Structures are given as C-alpha cells and as structure tokens.
Structure 1
C-alpha cells in the first residue's frame, strides 16, 4: 500500500464523481502547483477529539478523565475542557451500548474494490446475534460544527463498511448500521443498509476505479465533489467548476451575459440546482473579487479596473479605559448599556451539573421548566433528507361562504 491513498474514503465524493480530478491533482502535485492543506486550529481540535475518543474506547475511560489534559496536534496545543468531554460522551456511550470491544482507528484494506487503496475507520464492530444474522456497525466522529454531515447516502462510511467487513473476514450480516457522531452539528445520525446494498456500492466503486485507470474520465463539478478539492488551490482555480458556477449565476441574473452560453429557464430541477449551490456561487464571486483587488494592488489590475482608497472604517476609541473614565464622569450610569443575561449555551456550561463539576442542579432543573424553543422556519433540503416532507396547502376555497 502507498503512504497516502489516492482514492481515499474521505475524498470519495470528489474522485467518484469528478473522475478527471485524480490525474489532474497528481499532475499539479508533481508540478508543485498544490501542496497539502495547511493544518488549522479547527482541524487540530478535531484531531484532539478523535484522540480522546480513541483512548476512551480503547481503555474503558470517560472523556471527563481527560479534562485539563494538554494534547498537541498538527502544531497546535489544545487543553481538553468540560465542553469537549460533554460533546464526546453520548457517542462513546452509544458505542458501549452495543459492544464492549470495538475496533478503534483501524486501517482497512479496500483492495478488493479499489486496488492498493485503504482508509482508517474510526470505530467498527460486529454485533453477534444467536438467533438472527449479525450486524456490522461503523461509527465515525465528525467534530466540526460548520458543515453538517449526513449519514444517509454517505460514501465515506460505506467504504469504511466495506473495509471493515473485509477486515472481519467477510461475515454473514443482516444489516450494516452507519453512524455519524457529530455532536456540534446534529448529534447522532444513522443509516441502515443491507449487505447486498453495501456490496452493490462496492461494485459501483470498482467500475469508477476501472474508468479512472483507463483514462475514461470527466470533470463533473458538484458541491460535495468540489468542497475539499485541491485543484481549487492551484493558480487560476478550476476552470470546469468556474464555468459550472457562472452558468448558474447567469441563469439567476439575466443581466449577466456569459459568452457562449444561452441560459436556461429557472424552473423545476434547474431552479433547485441553483438554490442548492447559491452559497458556492457567492463564495466564488467573493474569491474572484479578492483576487482582482490583489492584482490591482500589485500594479497589475484586470483591464477596466483599479484599486482606490476605501471608505473610512467604523469609529473607535484608541484608549478605551480613558474613554470610559471621561464618559462615566460626564454621564454616570448612562455611559453603560443595560445588563443582559448571558446566552443559553454559556448558562448550560456554568449551571448544568456534570460528572466532575457540581454546577447548580436546582437552578438547572428550574430553568428547564421555563425553557422554550420555538419551531424552526421551513427550509429546503435534498429529497433524501431524513426529516419528513413539510407541505402547507393553500385553501383555494377560503373565500367561499359556508
């Protein structure tokens, strides 16, 4: 096996959809046009969360045991706190409800479907039933809070499922339970599939691999395929993706004329596609604006543009303590805003009792009695989303007399 899998489970949404990206990334890497993404404080925090979860499951510990511990990852240092411990505990408890001996951070071989490829599965185990066929479980921690990850339809989890099933000796199983543990963006999410469905997916991946090896590839941009694609780091970005986004922008804005593109009517599936990718269109336009501004500041403005001094920023005091003293002397208490309660999240952190913090249990219990949460506004999601569809019928006969 190679040191880094070209067709890794984490990148499956990209390479299984936009098959031409594989060879292009290899070329750009060889030319030095792109490098590995730099680690960030957020990715380091996720690595620390994975390490704590791994040690808890491997050695029978709870996350609270690590509160106060300093752990380094990717060049950053992170101190485990009560908040992280509280986030990790429910997922760890769920694993322990189903097994006392999970396989943790296991490198799984995907060669039967993707030759010489592999992945590292967070947690997997086989639940043996003496009456029914066994169940294979896959649990993957996603500690990020910015992007919610669904279990349903998840290609990465299915590849882990194939690798774990192969690792365990290809047992006869009744079902496969795929779990995303994302405590800060939706909590525990599940998807049940059959072994036949999993193996059918494996055959699909075989076919994708064969096309990539044969060079029968295509550029096929999509939100999931492009989200973490390294081609976007290269100078000039990705031309096929830019064209795809700009065509949708042209459909949404009739005054925007795109050379060589006649446009499509924004109805039905086309309208939904534009709505789905609106955030990507806006983000790309913002990136282009920054690139154009930087070119102008460097003395090479795009034709027809130039950089000028911007409007003055918001007013602020250079010496806040001196300003406070002057205003207090002049206005007294009127110099300050009225006090307001801290947010619910901060209240929970300070008041809710925990395993290693006393909190204020009586106050927390009383607060629960008066805590309210209004229903959310309707939102658009893909049709395979786990929540049931919401339909609000308009009564065309409201204006008729009874």
Structure 2
C-alpha cells in the first residue's frame, strides 16, 4: 500500500479550502466509519501507465517496447496494448525534447511549507533558468487543468527544494492527460510559486491550531471520502440543499446566484444520485423512507445465452441477411490501425489522404468562468456590426 501524506498534493483542493475536513476525516477513518482507501480498476490502470512511463524515461525505451507485457498493480492485471503505448508516447517525447536526464517518480519533501508532508513528482528537471515538471494523468473521465492547479504547484515547490533551490526565473507545469485534453501547460514565476508556498504555510497553521471551517465546493468535495460516510457530509448537504431551495424563491434568482448554481450543477446532480442510492439501500434493507418502497425493475435488454449457436441458426435460416449492412469503423479505430508510428508501419499514404477528409462539427456554446482563457462569444446581434 502506497503511503499517503495527511495533506497530500492530490488532496490540496480539499484540505486547503475545506480546512475542517482534515480532522473530520481523521476521526471517521479512526472509528472505521470510512474504510481504508481501496484501489479501483481505473486507478490501477493509471499505476501501470506510470510504471511504463517511468521505465521508458529512466532507460531510454519507448512504450511500444512494452506492448503485450502483462503488469499487475494493486490486485489488478493489465496487458499493455498499442493504445496505451500511443497515449504515453507524446508526453515521453515532450520530456525528451527538453532533457536527457529527468528525475522520475521522486518523493519530494514539502516540510518547508507543510511540515511532515510529502508527495511524488512524476517528472522534473532544470532547463536553464526554467524548472519544468510533468504530471501524467491517465484517466479519461474528467479533464484536469494545468492553470491554477494546486497539486502541480505543490509538486513544483517540492521539486525546487529537492533540486537544491536553484535560482530559476520561472516554473513550467505540464499536465499530460492523453485521453482527456492532451498536453496542457502553465508557466508562472518562481516568485509567484513561493508566494503560493507562503499561502500553504498559513493554511497549515490554521489546520494545526484548529482555526478551521467547512467550506464545500465542487473541487473540495469531488474526491472527499466523507461523502462515503452514512448520511454524507452535513456541511455539503446543507450547501446543496440551500441551492435547491433558492429555486423556489418567488422573486427569482439574481444573475450572480443563478450562475453560482449553474457552476455547481454537476455537484447537485451527483448529490441527488447519492440520495437516490441511499434511499434505495434503505428500502432493500427493509427500512424504506416514508412513502417509498423497492420493487423489481424492468427487464433488461434481450441477449443470446449462446451467441455462436444463435449465429449458426440465423445464418442457416437467413444467409447474409442475418448480418447488419457493413459500415466503416470509427475514426479513432481507423487512427489505431492506419496511422503510422514508431513501432508500426501503418498505411502512411492512406492516412495522409484520410486527414484531408477529416473535419469536426462546431462545438455547442458552453458556460465557463469569466477568467477562462477562451474569448467570450459575441451576442448574435453584435455579429452583424461589421457588415
């Protein structure tokens, strides 16, 4: 079992915002209300990807050398395939473009800012007056931004300390998330990084002194284990319940409050799903919520218990009509089979011609915070101003 710091970089969005969560988690873990961290299949897949990346950077290999290798992590077993190798290659190539001697998977000490705390920095090096670090996120479910990322800044502080506190001018932070957004970057001055370190000192002092508060937010609550406790987190429940109550305001919501609720819509949906599961579990345990009961659900989709036998019967009766009409495989699958790579020949000429035929539909407008990097869309009427 990998050791975890009490104030780990990966949990910084929680403990640096909702400072009261630290003692609460200690208590709930101590009395067994929250079980010890269990690894998931997806987390273990990420561990395997990190292991392949580490060996490649340490020994000058490419991930395609590992295709077919069987690797176990946290009770799960994976066979490295072409897809994982392709996903890892871009980030590895980027590191190699900048350095031949990176420090990989190193434990960094955060004690100067968070006494007794530590983290594991995926990759770091010094390049002139710049300190770059790169962090692999192999998950595909949720995009992780580099900009404003507290976890990255803590890794950067730890690596700067590990490297002997070099007199660099800036810190370049990279998120390598090949299955959700690709390569993402954020560069800040060393001065800004050290100012962030001072902020973390103040947070640590508050936590240690007990001057804490519950402060729910989407980022703070996203991976907080208090959600697994019976009844969930009282502070989060109250926060979400208040947003739900605001909708009943007969006067209507202010634009500011409306946007605040829209920002946290995903958290509200997740909370409703959790309430549904708790209510269903109570009913199945024989203690249904008043006015509810558990019943058998609708039957699922039909399927053949013996697919090969069904295929034989259908082809004997219908011939070629037993099959759907042929259709092209998707572009992602085409890329895997046709695109040339370091360890596969592919079909270079076909791939080049196919690229001239590929297009993408315009994305639908979406709401983001005002400080988002993309420029705001003009109101429809304003688009005619220049005509």
TM tier relative to shorter chain: over 0.9
What is residue 136 of structure 1 aligned with on the other side?
131
Specify the SS of the correspondent of 2:381.
coil
What is residue 284 of structure 1 aligned with on the other side?
271
Specify the SS of the correspondent of 1:29.
helix
Do the aligned residues in 2 keep the contact of 1:34 with 1:233 (CA within 8 Å)?
yes
Cα displacement (A) at 1:314? 4.0
Match status 1:242 vs 2:257: no
Specify the SS of the correspondent of 1:179.
strand
Q: Distance in 1 between matches of 2:307 and 2:73?
A: 37
In structure 1, stretches of 5+ residues that fail to align are 129-133, 255-261
After superposition, what is the alpha-carbon deviation per residue over 1:231-273, rounded to whole angstroms, capped at 9, x for unaligned? 1111211111111112222334x3xxxxxxx798433232222
Do the aligned residues in 2 keep the contact of 1:251 with 1:263 (CA within 8 Å)?
no
C-alpha spacing 1:341/1:194, structure 2 compared with 1 (3 Å): same
What is residue 173 of structure 2 aligned with on the other side?
178
Cα displacement (A) at 1:325? 5.6
In structure 2, stretches of 5+ residues that fail to align are none
Query: If the length of structure 1 is used for normalisation, what is the TM-score?
Result: 0.90
Match status 1:394 vs 2:356: no
C-alpha spacing 1:81/1:313, structure 2 compared with 1 (3 Å): closer
Q: Distance in 2 between matches of 1:308 and 1:65?
A: 52
Of 208, 226, 229, 2:224 maps to 229
Specify the SS of the correspondent of 2:126.
strand
Query: If the length of structure 2 is used for normalisation, what is the TM-score?
Result: 0.93
Q: Distance in 2 between matches of 1:183 and 1:275?
A: 28
Specify the SS of the correspondent of 2:44.
helix
Do the aligned residues in 2 keep the contact of 1:251 with 1:264 (CA within 8 Å)?
no
Cα displacement (A) at 1:329? 5.9
Greater mean deviation of Cα atoms: 22-31 or 348-357:
348-357
Of 352, 360, 370, 1:383 maps to 370
What is residue 118 of structure 1 aligned with on the other side?
118
Q: Distance in 2 between matches of 1:329 and 1:80?
A: 39
What is residue 352 of structure 1 aligned with on the other side?
339
Match status 1:337 vs 2:332: no
After superposition, what is the alpha-carbon deviation per residue over 1:80-104, rounded to whole angstroms, capped at 9, x for unaligned? 1111111111111111111111111
Cα displacement (A) at 1:41? 1.6
Cα displacement (A) at 1:118? 0.9
C-alpha spacing 1:289/1:97, structure 2 compared with 1 (3 Å): same
Specify the SS of the correspondent of 1:208.
helix
Specify the SS of the correspondent of 2:125.
strand
After superposition, what is the alpha-carbon deviation per residue over 1:309-346, rounded to whole angstroms, capped at 9, x for unaligned? 33444445555556556655665544443221111111
Q: Distance in 2 between matches of 1:342 and 1:220?
A: 48
Compute the RMSD of aligned alpha carbons. 2.3
Q: Distance in 1 between matches of 2:222 and 2:117?
A: 22
Match status 1:295 vs 2:290: no
Cα displacement (A) at 1:157? 0.5
After superposition, what is the alpha-carbon deviation per residue over 1:2-47, rounded to whole angstroms, capped at 9, x for unaligned? 9531111110000000000000000011101112332122111110
Greater mean deviation of Cα atoms: 217-226 or 280-289:
280-289
What is residue 104 of structure 2 aligned with on the other side?
104
Q: Distance in 1 between matches of 2:165 and 2:306?
A: 69
Cα displacement (A) at 1:387? 2.5
Match status 1:68 vs 2:68: yes
C-alpha spacing 1:51/1:326, structure 2 compared with 1 (3 Å): closer
Greater mean deviation of Cα atoms: 151-160 or 319-328:
319-328
Q: Distance in 1 between matches of 2:269 and 2:137?
A: 26
Q: Distance in 2 between matches of 1:396 and 1:205?
A: 45
Q: Distance in 1 between matches of 2:285 and 2:144?
A: 40
Specify the SS of the correspondent of 1:119.
strand
